[in-house]
Amino acid sequence: MVANRLPFTPLTLNWPASPWKLLEAFQGEVQNLFSHVNTDSAVRMWAGTDVVAIEIDAPGLTEDAFEILPNGQKLVVRFRHPESDHSGERAFLQERELRPTRYDLALPFPVDAERLDAVYQKGILRITARAPEQSKAKVVVRAG
């Protein structure tokens, strides 16, 4: 047993002078924990047997702001909101994220890049991804 050692209690820790400072420190840690999570755009997905429909809310963009990359059973969607041109002015409130947005969407099956369609209309990106076509060739069985 170690002599002159205090038992571990909250009083033995180096606590801030104010409980509010402790709460602010905790809030900062929680915000850092979830800082990589994007809550700006909503994503919705539906899947059928050979088709996946995806909708992403992304208002204020143009068609060329999007990059869609199929990769097997994953679809990567990237875009960035343009920076507003208010030079010389100071923003008091800005709720739109200006950092690049990226979604790594897991799909229920691999998609065919040739059968991928995307339409951007009224602030919503609609993506239709289809599975590769299955070969319909009939295999002939021969006598051995």
- Model pLDDT for residues 110-144, shown as the tens digit of each residue: 999 999 999 999 999 999 999 988 767 777 888 87
Assess if residue 57 is contained within a domain: yes
Report the number of distinct structural domains present in the chain: 1
- Return the SS3 of 64: helix
pLDDT at 72 over 70: yes
Please state the length of the chain: 144
Question: Is 9 a domain residue?
Answer: no
What is the Cα–Cα distance from 16 to 96, expressed in whole angstroms? 34
32 assigned to some structural domain: no
pLDDT tens for 30-50 read 776 765 555 556 899 999 999
- Quick one: which of 141, 57, 143, 61 has its CA closest to 103? 57
- The domain spanning residue 125 has which CATH number? 2.60.40.790
92 within some domain = no
Residue 135 lies inside a defined structural domain of this protein = no
**141 assigned to some structural domain:** no
User: Domain of 58?
Assistant: 43-82+97-130
Q: Note whether residue 53 is domain-resident.
A: yes
Does residue 6 form part of some domain?
A: no
- Judge if pTM exceeds 0.85: no
